[in-house]
Amino acid sequence: MYFSGGDASRVPRLRLLQDSVNLRLARACVVGEDLSALLPLGGSNLPARLDTLAAGRVIRVGGGRCGPGFPVFLGARRRALSREADAAAARLAPFVDSLAARVDSLAGDRHDLAFHLLWSRVVDEAWDAAWRRAFPRDTMPAVTWLALPERRFAVGTNYEQTVGDGDLALTWAPRFSEHLGPLADRAYELTLLAWQRPVTDDSARALLARYGILDSLGGSRLFAYPRGGTLDSALDALSREYGDRAAAAVDWAEAGRRFDTDPRDLFVILLHEIAYGEFERLADAGRLREPALLATGSPRADAVRLVSLVTGRPLRPADEAMAAYARNDWHGSPEVVRRLRLALAAEPGDVETRWTLGLGLYDVGRYAEAAAEFRRVEAEARRDPTVRLRADWSRLWIGHCYDALGQRARALAIYREVARTGDASTTMMMSQYGIGPITARAWAQLRLKAPFRPTR
């Protein structure tokens, strides 16, 4: 399992285990082998391999033995962790029973969504509230851990921001996660459905039907509700309440000593385990209908029971263009450029759309037109502090356009100016072009040495 919090400084570099010898050594260390027993596995370069794995926090070495460099729960230690989680879940049981009943009531006639809403919109959203109560002066860590065997409800939620400042939640489990990528890629079409607008793309409709979002007649079964509305506010309140209760269910310092684990790491691990235990109990007692899809991987159309969308502002003309841009791997095409121009005709003052149009024109080789759009963005960004970062980067992209046109002297003049006066603290990342994260000033200094050559 992996949980991404604010501090990732102690996360092990598990990429090292892509090497088969390193993997065998790490497996031996997980069960605490003597170093002498590792010689047949590591051969003559064993010391170097162990040093690399230890530096990567994958293992620990000391006293003639090696052990895991991150929390591991196997055998008796795993059973002790389960007992700890189950005891905390039992203390929370009356409250969680009422929580499940309230969520089921809030779901209205969509009782099939109760599991998803309780997990994704209440329990899996409670981290901040729980952490502030348990560790008010610390930063939540990023944690990697191993716990075998896995709990029955080792489920999770992926959250995706959607057009119109919406929020898509997708519940998954080890046996079923195939819907995550396809539905995230169709977040725009899901937003259309949430606003009761038609989806006209045939491939999108086929995909949404496959996962049960559209029924056999083409009607929407998507569960959507407005941000800040009655349901959203109620679920947020329940999430905060759960976070406060769960944080107080364990003495974290004492438990950390017993498990020889940093209490902050154990907090993340145990909150997962407690929730898994609570959901097992609710499902076994018939108080919460478990989506069979999570346990068996079928039927695929039941994925609609694992999806909800919180809508933000109403859709604007630019949203369709930005969705097309995103589907084109965050690059322009003639069709993307056409849609962006239509969006700007409707909203000429939309700086973000004009910036994207500049990028799209660059992508299709219309460099002079792209430079003209970036000049307009720069002028607006200098007037509007909310988009101030675009000013320096618009100038840089004008330089990129001059490089592409073979006008290196004009490009160098821009790079010299940004290298001297540009922002030196805020980073930009545009991974589709191989840029960043890097400041405008640092990027300009690189471009003084060589013209821009985008990667794709």
78-97: average pLDDT: 96
CATH 1.25.40.10 fits 317-321+328-449, yes or no: yes
pLDDT attached to residue 1: 80
Average pLDDT over residues 427-447: 93
Q: What is the DSSP letter of 223?
A: -
Q: What is the mean pLDDT of residues 36-47?
A: 83
Banded model confidence at residue 7, pLDDT cuts 50, 70, 90: low
- 267-281 confidence digits (pLDDT tens): 999 999 999 999 999
Tens of pLDDT, residue by residue over 105-130, are 999 999 999 999 999 999 999 999 99
Q: Please measure the distance between the N-terminal and C-terminal CA atoms of the chain and give it in whole angstroms.
A: 31
pLDDT in tens, 141-186: 899 999 999 998 899 999 998 988 899 999 999 999 999 999 998 9
What is the CATH topology of the domain spanning 2-70?
A: Arc Repressor Mutant, subunit A (1.10.10)
Percent of the chain with pLDDT strictly greater than 90: 80
Q: What's the rounded Cα separation, in Å, for the pair 64 and 78? A: 25
Q: Model confidence over 237-277: pLDDT tens digits?
A: 999 999 999 999 999 999 999 999 999 999 999 999 999 99
Give the E-state strand segments of 91-241 in sequence order. Answer: 143-144, 146-147, 156-162, 166-172, 224-226
> Is it the case that residue 386 has pLDDT exceeding 80?
no
Q: Phi first, then psi: what are they for 42, rounded to 5°?
A: -100, -20
DSSP code per residue over 400-414: HHHHHTT-HHHHHHH
Are 377 and 351 a contacting pair, CB within 8 Å? yes
- Residue 456: per-residue pLDDT: 62
- Spell out the domain ranges in the chain: 2-70, 75-311, 317-321+328-449
What Cα–Cα distance (Å) separates residue 35 from each residue in 32, 38, 72, 277? Answer: 9, 5, 19, 37
The residues near 54 (Cβ < 8 Å, ≥ 6 apart) are 60, 61, 69
Burial of 137 (0-12, 13-18, 19+ CB in 10 A): exposed
- Going from the C-alpha of 280 to that of each of 2, 98, 117, 295, the distances in angstroms are 21, 16, 16, 12
Greater confidence (3 vs 308) lies with 308
Q: Residue 427 pairs with which residues in a beta bridge?
A: 439
Which tokens hold the place of 57? Answer: 């926090």
What pLDDT is recorded for position 179? 97
CA distances from 346 to 111, 215, 260, 319, 340 (A): 41, 34, 61, 12, 10
Average pLDDT, the chain: 93
Torsion over CA: 53, 57, 62, 64 (sign): negative
Model pLDDT, residue 4: 77
Q: What is the pLDDT of residues 388-409, one digit of tens each?
A: 889 999 999 999 999 999 999 9
Phi-psi region of 365 (alpha: psi -120 to 50; beta: other; left: phi over 0): left
Q: Write down the pLDDT at residue 6.
A: 67
Distance of CA 396 to the CA centre of its chain: 29
